[in-house]
Amino acid sequence: MPPRTATNAAENASKIIEATVTSKGQVTLPKALRKELGIAAGSRIRFTVGANGKAQVEKVMNTLDDLWRMADSFPKAAGRMSFEEMNEAKARRVW
């Protein structure tokens, strides 16, 4: 196994980002975390809590059911869609 370089160590380093919980149990995700995870208004996030009590947060990627639901919410195109039309339809929604 090759030795870890300073560059590799920096790439694998954990980032610590803190936030405060309100009296209602709400947390505002800090801008740095939203940017790091690509989270925007309407994004879904998932919390995973391990047996050791440590929690992880990750952006929820759309499931196939989510994609079908989004497709059903837009007006239907007459006939078949071209690749360009499909790309335009995908661009209407940020994944």
**CA 12 – CA 6 distance, rounded (Å):** 10
pLDDT digits (tens, 9 = 90+) for 26-76: 999 999 989 988 899 988 898 999 999 999 988 888 778 877 887 788 777
Give the closest residue to 33 by CA, choosing from 59, 53, 7, 1: 59
pTM: 0.49
- Each as own residue / partner, the long-range contacts of residues 32-39 (CB below 8 Å, 24 or more positions apart, any chain) are 33/57
Q: How far is CA 21 from CA 18, 29, 40, 79, 87, in A?
A: 10, 10, 20, 51, 40
pLDDT digits (tens, 9 = 90+) for 68-80: 887 788 777 677 8
